[in-house]
Amino acid sequence: MRIVLSGADLTLEQVGAVARPGARIEIAPLARERVRAARQLVDHIAQGSTPTYGINTGFGTLAEVSIPRADLQKLQRNLILSHSAGIGAPLSVGEVRALMLLRANVLAGGYSGIRESTLDLLVGLLERDVIPIVPEKGSVGASGDLAPLAHLALVLIGEGEAFFQGRRMPGREALEKAGLQPVVLEAKEGLALVNGTQAMEAVGALALLEAERCARIADVACAMTVEGLKGSHKPFLAAIQRVRGHPGQTRVAADLRALLAKSQINASHQDESCEKVQDPYSLRCAPQVHGAARDALAFVRRTLEIEANAATDNPLVFASATDDVAAGTVVSGGNFHGQPVSQALDLLAIACAQLQTISERRVEQLVNPSLSGLPPFLAANSGLNSGFMIAQVTAAALAAESKILAHPACVDSIPSSAGREDHVSMGMTAALKARTVVDNARSGLAIELLVAAQALDLRKPLLAGVGARAAHELIRSRVPHMDADRELHRDIAVLREMLPQIDGEARSAAGLTL
């Protein structure tokens, strides 16, 4: 994939693609012109004596301290060193690759005042797969993700650590092996590298892409469970959704109708002998719950798409005039504050937690013989075999953890920097929580697919609707029917990895697009 960075049109799909090696990254020619113009302005200010934040002053509460011209390089280096205070496990290689792309795109916007050569070095690291070690904890999302971005910048100056060719090594060694030279930062460049929301954005964007797949898989899993429980298709009628009007609900119901079309199981219980009057909410209200999650994810996507192309530096360098800013203006503001992203990522966690909780209730419906009319825990010779008893327990444990993590981080705030940063977003905390909830959702939905496949086996020779049937057949191509107890963690792991294929196969059979 060839990705041209302009600072204005980067997509989340491109961020997801760059999380894996192989993409070719370029800076748009017009973006290079803007970068050069902004740098000329910074150089001009650095040569003068007028105090300008981030160029010839200290940082944060120390903004009133003027720095002599001879110390400006040391000022920027000290900023990177002092702000590299992160702790904890490193972000994944994919997350750091996404972080590097997002930061390069911000710098390409031409509002940061960085040198073109420094931007090129950042892109060079990404293309040659020199991936800095970035601890996941240490950001409060106020002046952006200061600590994570500082750890990224360490490798640019030949410090810190990085992965290269699968090995963890000192940053300077990684640069040498990749044929790259460290940079000596000039005025404002250190600040341009650490101010911004790109760490929370990177983790959040990758989590969102996975969450969107989970939302689609939730519909497939629900369709299989509806068939396994001989549930009614009537709650998915278009008329019911139309009189409420929520777009996500309408979309989910339409998808369920397509996934359940031509169901032999449904046809078998449409006469007067069917004893059911109403299904439990976890089946009947799937359009309402899944749909609300879809609408929430759509909001999160809009927010993250904007943020991926946002100028989040401070101060901002306006080389060209705007309606209210004269050409050649450097102005401090608050675009680094992570509240929009933090709030959206808290909603992401809430939406995925809801997908999990309703999925876990459907698993309970399947394994409970008093609710399903099927053998206890779907086990052959139950008693001797426990079947899927503990699969439901695991789904419950995952849902419980996700409900705890769904408590919002964005409403918390601990002032920092001697009270100058007196309201913070906790955006990185929101991102890390959301990442965990999405991962839990993947596992929980894999469990539902596994258990629902067993239920559909027990409904044979009757066949499920076309989409549910296709998913069932694909699952059975890799995971056999359980005749006797076995290590279920292996089956769950296989299903987790199969989720993209199951999603595609079921939707293709039902005539649906992604």
Residues annotated catalytic, as ranges: 53
Residue type at position 152: L
Closest-CA residue to 13 (of 186, 253, 208): 208
Q: What is the DSSP letter of 69?
A: G
Q: How many CB atoms lie within 10 A of CB 275?
A: 7
How distant is the alpha carbon of residue 493 from its chain centre?
A: 20
Residues 488, 389: Cα–Cα separation, whole Å = 10
End-to-end CA separation in angstroms for the chain? 20
Cβ-proximal residues to 290 (8 Å cutoff; 6+ apart), any chain: 215, 218, 219, 222, 248, 249, 252, 355, 358
* 46/56 Cα distance (integer angstroms): 7
Query: Please, are residues 90 and 133 in contact by the beta-carbon 8 Å criterion?
Result: yes
- Listed in sequence order, the residues at least 6 apart from 127 whose beta carbon sits closer than 8 Å to its beta carbon are 24, 25
- In terms of Cβ atoms closer than 10 Å to its own Cβ (0-12, 13-18, 19+), residue 312 is buried
- Distance of alpha carbon 482 from alpha carbon 207, whole angstroms: 32
Residue 210 φ then ψ, to 5°: -70, -35
If DSSP states are collapsed to H, E and C, what string results for 51-65?
CCCCCCECCHHHHHC
List Cβ neighbours of 163 (8 Å cut-off, separation of 6 or more): 93, 129, 130, 131, 133, 169, 174
Query: What is the DSSP-derived secondary structure letter of residue 20?
Result: S
Q: Which residues have a Cβ under 8 Å from the Cβ of 88 and sit 6 or more positions away? A: 135, 136, 137, 138
Tokens of 397: 């444990």
Locate 154 and state its tokens.
Answer: 């360490």
Q: Are strands 24-27 and 2-5 parallel, antiparallel or unpaired?
A: parallel
